Every structure is written in structure tokens, then in C-alpha cells.
Amino acid sequence: MAQEASMFSANDVVTSLSNGMGHDKPVEELELPPGFCWGVATAAYQIEGAVAQDGKGKSIWDTFTHLEPSRTNGENADITCDHYNRMPEDVALMASLGVEVYRFSISWPRIIPLGGRNDPVNEKGIAFYSSLIDHLLASNITPVVTLYHWDAPQAIYDRYRAFLDTTEYRADFLRYARVCFTHFGDRVKTWITYNEPYIISIFAHLNGTLAPGHCRATNHATGTEPWRVGHTVILSHADVASLYAAEFQPAQQGSVSVVLNGHFYEPFDAACPADRAAAENRMLFYIGWFGDPLFLGEDYPAQMRAYLKDRLPVFTEEDRDLLRRTAPLNKFYGMNHYSSKYARALSTPPEDDDWTGNVEETSVNSEGQEIGPRSGLAWLRVAPQGFRKLLRWVWKRYGRPIIITENGCPCPGEMDAAVAVDDRFRQRYFGLYLDAISRAIYEDGVRVDAYYAWSFLDNFGLFSPKPPVSRLS
């Protein structure tokens, strides 16, 4: 499949990929278990707008999208979908589509404008999310709430650089979580602390493509910052899980977990032992980095320790005890997944801030085969076979029920309104990926409980910004 994406029709995608799925049954005839939940997902910064309305504080994304020269192609989310002002009609639209679950994030600076544990709470922000939850429940839509989807309050970044000061950040995030549990926990039963810690760590504190934009070109310590950020995320998640279990779960009867993103990696050359090891190591550097401490209560994967050495922070005995105690509290594994890649072991010496394990990521293998047709984004290939393998990998390693918290794709050429409306490419993508879920459940024994499509609304895209120095695969 070495053709360009523009040469693929929707039917070509189905034919080329279904032939490799091991069945002849049409996608629309495959079944999912009774009780399987269908939902949609969004993020506060990407849809709410109302950037300074009703007392909302500034987030790091509000700052990042207004930098000069622009790091986001001159775009921002000051208005975006205006969900803050159009929420009732948005919920009505969800109801008309038969949506069962709505996963949304709360804007920390809308709740606590200055972010800190001693800073005042914004009652108008509380009122907005309370009203959203009530509207959802009135429409028989279950709310699933993410506390952090990349939009830290600018004020805590100004005070101590947010995630880079683990002690200060943990105290502030714990207070923010407590406020949310107190005001919304009577109606919200599923909580997610963080969306995609890998992205928070690498894309925001090494590649510089996402807020706050740290990278080598901005004179930041990219050899150590991402690992410090990840360390902070892990420990602050455990703090919140412990808090909820001790003070809120007995009465509210909910659960707290985390959402991890990840590609599935195939070896660039399946006959090459180094490439096979590279593919597995890439999974560990991407998913095991957070999954092993949070779901297993263990240290970082041994391969990471051996490769990163003193770049990787050390858990204290107190930290280890916290992780062991809270790992069982993470009752489900939130999975964001879009595509798969090949992993090739590099023989050249790595850079001093390498984060991959000295692995090259590519969409084409040693035989010139593409991992799947290209979507509207160069990196996002239609590869349901990799999705099924990822489901198996996560289930085998962590043994938690999986919720697909994000999955979807843009169509090639969808800036053309006709393509965006007649989106057969996207429909086929969804069909093939749902097919992969069904096969993983019935043929591989994986437990998958729900699927949330990304995204409910066309929104401000966070994957188009141009970094000052591009170092993305």
C-alpha cells in the first residue's frame, strides 16, 4: 500500500485492510457486547471559547496561542465552538444523535482562575459545569470528566513552572481535584485525572509544539524536563486517586483513572532482532512509562532506566508506597489511539535529549509497505490491525477493562466542505476500528467496555502548530 492517500477511495480502504483482518463478514454485521457504551469526547480549551468570560483565568494555551511570532499558525481558541455560551443546544444535539456518554474536560482556570491551593474559586465557573452536568443527565447522557486536558493555569506556570516543581504542583492539583469532587461528584461517577501524559511531557516540554512550548530552541533543558514532568503527573495522579478513595468514593461510589495515548509499533524489518526489540521498547517508552507505575504500582520499565540513567527521576520509598496503594484504584484503562507506526533501531549515537530509545518511527517498512492509507494528517494512517494488537498488548500487561476514550481521523482533503460532509473515508475508518474492537473482544478475550469518538464538534486543532525547530517523526 505505497500509494498516496489521495489515490485511496473509501472502498479501497475497506478492501485493502479488511483482507488482512482474518474474516469476510461485513463490518456492519459485527456485534459488540450488550451494555457496550457509545460516546463522544471533547476538551475544554478546544471547544469552550469565552476566553475571559465570567471570571475565567488565563491558561498556558491562552498565552501560547497569542505569542509573537505565532507558534500556532496565527490561530487561537478565544471563540472556537463557543460551547460555553451554546452548551444547551450542544447537549440537545448530542441527544439527537443518541449519544450515551459525553467525555469532557474541566478548565482548571475557569474553576480556580489563579490555580493555586490558596486562590479563590470562581463560582460562575462552578455554575457552568454544574449546569452542563445537569443538562446531560436530563438527556440521559452520562458525564465522564477529565480534570486536566493540557490547559494549566498560567498563574501557576508563572509562579513555579507548573509540572517542573513537583511538590508545589502536587499540592495545587490536589486542591483543584478536591473542589471538583466536592461540587460535581454527586453526579459524576467516572473521573479521569490526566489526558495523555506522554503529550504533556514530550510535545509540551521537549518538542515545543504544544503549550508551554519548551524545546531546545527556547533554551530549555530538554534532556531532563520531560521526565520530570512525567514524574509529576504520575505522583499527582496517585495523590488524587488516594484522596478520592479516602474522602469521596464511599459516598459518591465513583472511580478515578487516567487516559494514556499510544501508537502500536511494528518492527521496521520483522526479520531483524534489533527492530523487533525497538518496537517493543518504543511501546515501553510511550505507554509503559506511565502505565507501569500507575497500573502496576512498579518502577519505570527497566529498559527506560537502563537507557536514560540519571535523566529519569527516582521514586522515593514514600512514592513507591503511594503507587502500590493506588494502583488497584485505577479500575479502567483509558485509551486514546489513532494510528500505528514502524519502529527501526538506529545505529547512530542518540542525541542527549533523545526520548525514543534511539528508535526511528516511520510509516513505511523495509519492504516499502505502508502501514496503512494516509488520512488528512500525514502521521495518522488507517491501521486497524495495529489497534487490535494494541488492545491485546495493554490487556495482557495491565489487565484492566479498556475504555476507548478517543479515536477518529480527518478525511483527506476535508478542508473542502463537500468532503467534510460526505465523509466516507472517516466512516470507513470508524467501521474498521470498531471491527478491530469486536475481534479483540471475541477472538482475543480483551475486555473493552466503551468507545468515545473524537470529536463531538469540529474544534480548535492542537496538532497543526509549527514548532520553532521541528523534531517530530
SS (H, E, C) 79-138: CCCCHHHHHHHHHHHHHHCCCCEEEEECCHHHHCCCCCCCCCCCHHHHHHHHHHHHHHHH
Mean pLDDT of the chain: 92
pLDDT at 472: 29
Q: 466: closest CA among 49, 202, 74?
A: 74
Q: What is the CATH number of the domain that holds 398?
A: 3.20.20.80
**Through-space distance between the first and last CA atoms of the chain, rounded to whole angstroms:** 20
CB atoms within 10 A of CB 186: 13
Is 196 known to be catalytic? yes
pLDDT at 468: 33
Residue with cell 494516509: 374
Residue at 463 is within a domain: no
Per residue, the 3-state secondary structure of 87-100, as one string, reads HHHHHHHHHHCCCC
Least confident of 257-266, 268-277, 418-427: 418-427
pLDDT at 11: 43
Residue at 425 is within a domain: yes
Residue at 334 is within a domain: yes
DSSP one-letter code for 254: -
| 75 three-state secondary structure | coil
The better pLDDT of the pair 472, 158 is held by: 158
Residue at 472 is within a domain: no
Residue at 462 is within a domain: no
- Band of pLDDT at residue 9, cut at 50, 70 and 90: very low
Task: Check pLDDT > 50 for residue 51.
Answer: yes
Q: Which residues of 415-446 are buried (b: 16+ CB within 10 A; e: fewer)?
A: eeeebeeebebbebbbbbbbbbbbbbbeeeeb
The string of pLDDT tens digits covering residues 356-409 is 999 999 999 999 999 999 999 999 999 999 999 999 999 999 999 999 999 999
- Beta carbons within 8 Å of 378's beta carbon, 6+ residues apart: none
pLDDT at 165: 98
DSSP one-letter code for 466: P
In 3-state terms, the chain is what percent helix, strand and coil (to 5)? Answer: 45, 15, 40
Compute the chain's Rg from CA coordinates: 21
Q: Which position among 48, 196, 370, 414 bears the catalytic label?
A: 196
pLDDT at 290: 99
Residue at 467 is within a domain: no
The string of pLDDT tens digits covering residues 116-157 is 999 999 999 999 999 999 999 999 999 999 999 999 999 999
The string of pLDDT tens digits covering residues 39-49 is 999 999 999 99
pLDDT at 420: 84
Backbone phi, psi, residue 148, to 5°: -135, 110
Is 168 known to be catalytic? no
How many Å apart are CA 300 and CA 308, to the nearest integer? Answer: 11
Which domain does 300 fall in, by range? 5-25+32-454
How many Å apart are CA 352 and CA 308, to the nearest integer? Answer: 10
Task: Check pLDDT > 50 for residue 450.
Answer: yes
- Band of pLDDT at residue 467, cut at 50, 70 and 90: very low
DSSP one-letter code for 342: E
Task: Check pLDDT > 50 for residue 224.
Answer: yes
pLDDT at 143: 99
Task: Check pLDDT > 90 for residue 17.
Answer: no
Residue at 471 is within a domain: no
Q: Which position among 168, 225, 361, 406 bears the catalytic label?
A: 406
Residue at 375 is within a domain: yes
- As for how many domains the chain has, the answer is 1
